[in-house]
Amino acid sequence: MTRRGFLRGLLAVTLAGFFAALYGFFIEPALRLRVRRWRIRRADWTARPLKIVVLSDLHVGEPFVGLKRIRQIVKRVNALDADLVLLLGDYAAGHKFITEPVKIADVAPILAECRARHGVYAVLGNHDWWDDLEAQRRGGGPNLYAQALEAQGIRVLSNHSTWLEGPGIWLAGLEDQIAIRRNGRWAGLDDLPGTMAQITDDAPVVLMAHEPDIFTRVPDQVALTLSGHTHGGQVRLFGWSPVVPSRFGNRFAYGHVHEKGRDLVVSGGIGCSILPVRFGVVPEITVVEISS
């Protein structure tokens, strides 16, 4: 190889690295947005066909997810003609690389503009608890993120199941599984048995659970579990993520999982945690259509 050829090769590699870094650290996490659709059919689904639009892991903070981007996302959500809009937690910024914090009190009114035939419901994520220092001291709620959402008419389900007459389903919301720091470890506030005990018949159940790890313990009556938290690993190549914040690694990293007759959908979410990087996991609005 000639010296000129070597320098050209080095320049090409340098430019490729630069553009890959630009894409992964800004273009994909801050500018791109897609709608990812999953269609699930279940023989035991006795309710009406249901279109659920999911937003997860907003991790709001400039310059990646500011109020302008939230407004754009809500506009896209409202164009999808949802039966339900479900917010799966982690509204709080998940990394320190933000230029300007955005308060949940400013975000909640925009999220309240989401429209769905049968309502908008939410659960909290781990960062929403970690960011609330008073809740950490108390070892539990009330939580400032839940209060801000509730004040705007968004019902937050904390270990609670509610009957939705319109679609004919139970909607259950589990509290976060790694919410509170106790004795140097993160402990959950989730109560799956207590949440399921509120269900009084055999109608289909849709469960909102921020972290997907609970899926291994979800009872058969739950037709669909919806989770976020993993961000699809944030970096995903050929269907594999090198780092996934789950005890089960890539098993519950992203997308539709069908195990033992039960269905789980893990949203790739919108924002970032730890580092503001996404590569191969475009920020997404997740749409799940379920029917018999």
pLDDT, one tens digit per residue, over 216-272 is 999 999 999 999 999 999 999 999 999 999 999 999 999 999 999 999 999 999 999
Instruction: Yes or no: say if 288 and 226 are a contact pair by the CB < 8 Å rule.
Output: yes
In the Cβ-directed half-sphere of 228, how many Cα atoms lie within 13 Å?
35
Residue 205: pLDDT over 50: yes
CA dist 270 and 141 (Å) reads 26
Residue at 10 is within a domain? no
Confidence (pLDDT) at 16:
34
Residue 30 banded pLDDT, cuts 50, 70, 90: low
Residue 284: pLDDT over 80: yes
* Helical spans, DSSP H, in the chain: 3-22, 67-78, 104-111, 126-130, 133-138, 144-151, 192-197
Domain count, the chain: 1
Residue 18: pLDDT over 50: no
Per the prediction, the chain carries an average pLDDT of: 91
Confidence (pLDDT) at 26:
52
pLDDT tens by residue, 96-150: 889 999 999 999 999 999 999 999 999 999 999 999 999 999 999 999 999 999 9
Residue at 9 is within a domain? no
Rounded to the nearest 10°, the torsion over CA 153, 50, 56, 251 is 150
CA dist 161 and 154 (Å) reads 15
Q: Closest Cα partner for 210 from 86, 113, 40?
A: 86
Which structural domain range is residue 142 located in? 32-290
CA dist 207 and 209 (Å) reads 6
Q: Which residues, at least 6 apart from 19, have a Cβ–Cβ distance to it below 8 Å?
A: none
Residue at 16 is within a domain? no
Residue at 126 is within a domain? yes
Residue at 5 is within a domain? no
Residue at 23 is within a domain? no
Mean of the pLDDT values across residues 79-93? 98
Q: Closest Cα partner for 111 from 285, 290, 288, 289?
A: 285
Residue at 137 is within a domain? yes
The CATH number given to whatever domain includes residue 92 is 3.60.21
Residue at 14 is within a domain? no
Residue 7 banded pLDDT, cuts 50, 70, 90: very low
Confidence (pLDDT) at 183:
87
Confidence (pLDDT) at 27:
63
